[in-house]
């Protein structure tokens, strides 16, 4: 059975993933990093092509080193709510 946090995280992810309006690139990097930290922790792995975009993504994720999965999920939810409430 999923916890309330897991359900809220999945709902926030779904809403942000299907959002029609553009979100600033720096905010999208935060979403990326929180999602990676929530799902993989500080087990950094990067198989992507080395380019500037992937370097920014890697850097954003590495800045969260040591953050717990639960905290990353909470931060993702908070950021999603802030974005979604601004779009209303």
Task: Tell me how far CA of residue 58 lies from CA of 4, 6, 19, 34, 83, in angstroms.
Answer: 29, 24, 24, 12, 23
Q: What is the pLDDT of residues 25-73, one digit of tens each?
A: 999 999 999 999 999 998 887 777 888 888 899 899 999 999 999 999 9
Domain total in the chain? 1
Q: What's the pLDDT score for residue 2? A: 75
**Domain with 63 in it:** 4-86
Q: What's the pLDDT score for residue 28? A: 96
Q: What is the mean pLDDT of residues 70-87?
A: 95
Contacts with 21 (C-beta within 8 Å, 6 or more apart), sequence order: 87
CATH assignment at residue 37: 1.20.80.10
- pTM of the full structure: 0.89
Q: How many residues does the chain have?
A: 88
């Amino acid at each position: 059975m999923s916890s309330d946090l897991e359900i809220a995280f999945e709902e926030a992810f779904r809403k942000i993933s299907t959002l029609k309006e553009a979100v600033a690139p720096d905010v999208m990097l935060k979403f990326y990093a929180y999602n990676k930290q929530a799902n993989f922790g500080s087990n950094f792995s990067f198989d992507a092509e080395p380019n500037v975009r992937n370097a920014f993504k890697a850097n954003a994720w590495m800045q969260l080193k040591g953050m717990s999965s639960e905290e990353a999920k909470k931060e993702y939810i908070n950021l999603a709510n802030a974005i979604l409430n601004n779009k209303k």
